Amino acid sequence: MKYRQEYYQGEAEDNGEILSIAEMVDVPLGHFDSVLLTKDTITIDPEVLEYKLYARDVGPVLTLDVSGGAGRAELVRMETVSDGSGTGPLGQPH
């Protein structure tokens, strides 16, 4: 499945494509199965290619910048906050 992530003609033309929903990945935080793999490109900068892996109930765990980027970003730790902390809908305090 291909989709547009962001579009402002000539300024931001980011695209995504789901390549797989059945990958495995190991990062410093641990091992994840059934991981979603996406391919991200930019129409106005065809040199940029990035793969991202997302784990269910976690989010992005690994990003690989194949070209035009910073290299590799891995999830090394995850912290949670207690229920009731933070903000409610549309940034309203609880």
**Tens of pLDDT along 19-37?**
999 999 999 999 999 999 9
- Top-confidence residue, 41 or 82: 41
Q: pTM of the predicted model, to two decimals?
A: 0.80
Rounded to 5°, the CA angle 27-20-60 comes to 35
List the one residue out of 19, 89, 80, 22 whose CA is nearest residue 56.
22
CB atoms near residue 25 (< 10 Å): 17
Query: What is the amino acid identity at position 62?
Result: L
Domain ranges of the chain: 2-77
